[in-house]
Amino acid sequence: MTLLKKSIIALFVSILMLGSMQSVMAMEASAPAQTLADVIDLNKQTIAAMKAGDTAEKVGALLKATKQASKSVVISGPADLNKQKGSMKLKRSRKAYRAGDTVEAIRLAEEALDKYKKAKSVHFN
């Protein structure tokens, strides 16, 4: 009976692992330099939209797009630390913007932009 239970559990785990392998293999590795440049461009657009006083929907969409683009950047080492700090600043900026504090949101978005630029210069220079 215990052998049957162990066999069923082993089969179940094997099937789960096969499913996760396919999803990992399906992910495309893009060029980190290009994706980081995209994050920087999106962040600049977000800051410009906040300063121009665009609608909350547009700024929210830009903040969300910047966050998603930031998640797709795969780098390591000291550059990754700067990228993570930039992502945290961007998250705080989004929270501040939702709370209605546009000045603080702009300041935090600019700090995030600086961190992303630093990550790019550390990793690619």
Contact 96, 110 (CB under 8 A): no
Q: Cα(33)–Cα(73) distance, rounded to whole angstroms?
A: 8
- pLDDT tens track for 11-32: 777 777 776 655 544 445 557 6
- pLDDT tens track for 83-120: 899 999 999 999 999 999 999 999 999 999 999 898 88
Can you tell me the mean pLDDT for 41-53? 92
Tokens of 45: 């657009």
Can you tell me the mean pLDDT for 26-49? 78
Q: Cα(64)–Cα(62) distance, rounded to whole angstroms?
A: 5
| Higher per-residue pLDDT: 19 or 4 | 4
Model's pTM, two decimal places?
Answer: 0.70
**Which domains are delineated in the chain?**
32-124 (1.20.120)
